[in-house]
Amino acid sequence: MCLDDQILNTYLDGELGEPWKTQVIEHLNYCVACNTRLEQLKRLRETLLSSALTQQEIQPHQEKVLSFIEKNIIEKKHINIFRKTFRVSMPMVMATAAAFVVILTGVLLFTRPDGLPTGQIIPNVAIPSAGSVVQVRATENLSAAKLLENFTLEEILQYLSSRGYEVEVKVKEIQPVVHQTDQNEIGSEKPAEEPTVEQ
């Protein structure tokens, strides 16, 4: 009986245990069909491998990221223990980014737990404080929404301001109770769960 692809793939990966391995080798000694199939599977693998990112392509990124981390993370650590890293992920499409952040800001306004009047929670947009690191991410990657929730409105405004956005906060209607419908609508585009753990 001939070998199936599953067996051949496992054999190809060097993961076939005994006694199957010996049996496969014996079979391959005389069966042309299975040898042909094995060759095809090998070629498929080679095609995939040949499209891999090369070390040469990786190198500039490797150096850039290392120097960023050394400057901003490793060296800073010793200088200022109160350093507060303020990293916000920005979407690839900037227009979407602005819209997205503004929407989230709305959420913060509406859900502020202590029920302060809005006037008191909109601060003046201040210059970035000396201790914070503002880093722009080229992409909206990780969990921007989750990150944003950890910042005060002031920090978000500061950040946007430092990025050259002119931020105007308008509250068109404020009701003492949380806007259930608004919330749900926004919730529907809530991004980023925790990284998934595969089952």
Partner 1 sequence: MEVHSSDSKSFRSVYEQVFPVVMRVAYHITYNMDVSEDICQEAFIRFYEKGIDFQSVDEAKYWLIRVVKNMSINVIKRKAREDATVERLKKAPSLPILNGEQALIGDETRAMVRSAVERLPEKLKSVLVLKEYADLNYKQIAGILRISESNVKVRVHRARKIMESMLDREEMHVS
Q: List contacts with partner 1 (CB under 8 A).
A: 5-6, 9-10, 13-15, 40-41, 44-45, 47-53, 55, 57-58, 61-62, 64-66, 68-69, 73-74, 91-93, 95-96, 99, 137-143, 189, 191-193, 195-199
Sign of CA dihedral 25, 31, 35, 41: negative
Residue 141 Cβ vs partner 1, minimum distance, rounded to whole Å: 5
User: What tokens does 1 get?
Assistant: 């009986």
Residue 50 Cβ vs Zn ion, minimum distance, rounded to whole Å: 27
Among 7, 9, 10, 31, binds Zn ion (CB under 5 A): 31
C-alpha to C-alpha distance for 6 and 119, rounded to whole angstroms: 66
- Residue 48's binding partner among Zn ion, partner 1, none (Cβ under 5 to 8 angstroms by kind) is partner 1
Bridge partners for 118 per DSSP: none
How many other β-carbons are positioned within 10 Å of the β-carbon of residue 27?
A: 15
Q: Tokens 């995939």 sit at which residue? A: 48
C-alpha to C-alpha distance for 88 and 137, rounded to whole angstroms: 7
Bridge partners for 86 per DSSP: 134
- Looking at the Cβ atoms of 93 and 178, the one nearer to partner 1 is 93
- Looking at the Cβ atoms of 55 and 120, the one nearer to partner 1 is 55
28 near Zn ion, judged by CB under 5 A: no
Residue 189 Cβ vs partner 1, minimum distance, rounded to whole Å: 5
Residue 45 Cβ vs Zn ion, minimum distance, rounded to whole Å: 20
Residue 107 Cβ vs partner 1, minimum distance, rounded to whole Å: 16
What is the distance of C-alpha 12 from the center of its chain? 34
C-alpha to C-alpha distance for 174 and 35, rounded to whole angstroms: 74
Site for Zn ion, rule CB under 5 A: 2, 31, 33-34
